[in-house]
Amino acid sequence: MRKFELTPDLVTGVDDIDAQHRTLLDLANRVIEASEDASPAIFHRTLIFLVNYAVDHFAAEEAAMDQTAYPGARFHREFHDRLRREIASIAAQAKQEGSGKKVRLAVQFMLEDWLIYHIRETDRDLANHLRNHSPGATILYLPAVRERKIDDAIPEDMETPIKAAVGRS
């Protein structure tokens, strides 16, 4: 399977977003590699780490949208919600079926969909808004996102399927 990388057409120009995307793509590559070479347990742990990082990344973007009154927030959140449900479903499938070809392809297709549309289009629009809203604007770092979770600022219905998929309460 092909490797994911932050190519120039995926760079948003907002350092925090690009750094998080780079990490997400690296994690995606590790999931793909783990699915081919490692035990199902290692694949599952790697996938869950990717899932959790993605959820934190989405929350960071959503916090930035809230802070800057981003006009495209509703659509962007809906896309995040769809991706949250999709990755929770894939994690649950991997927990049941292991790291077989079907699960690897589901991960690959989800990531390609995310890359092709979400990063290239939706995240670039958000980044443009952030740059226009305030020179040097940025999104929150992930530790601040964890504070949003503690304050219940992230919808519980999005956390539950992911927790269930990884067997956490």
Model pLDDT for residues 57-112, shown as the tens digit of each residue: 888 888 888 888 899 999 999 999 988 888 888 888 888 887 777 887 888 888 88
The residue ranges of every structural domain in the chain are 13-166
Confidence of residue 162 (pLDDT cuts 50, 70, 90): very low
Mean of pLDDT values over 20-27: 85
State how far the Cα of 134 lies from the Cα of 137, in Å rounded to an integer: 5
Whole-model pTM: value is: 0.77
Q: At what angle do helices 73-97 and 156-166 cross, to 10 degrees?
A: 20
pLDDT of 71 reads 95
* CATH code, residues 13-166: 1.20.120.50
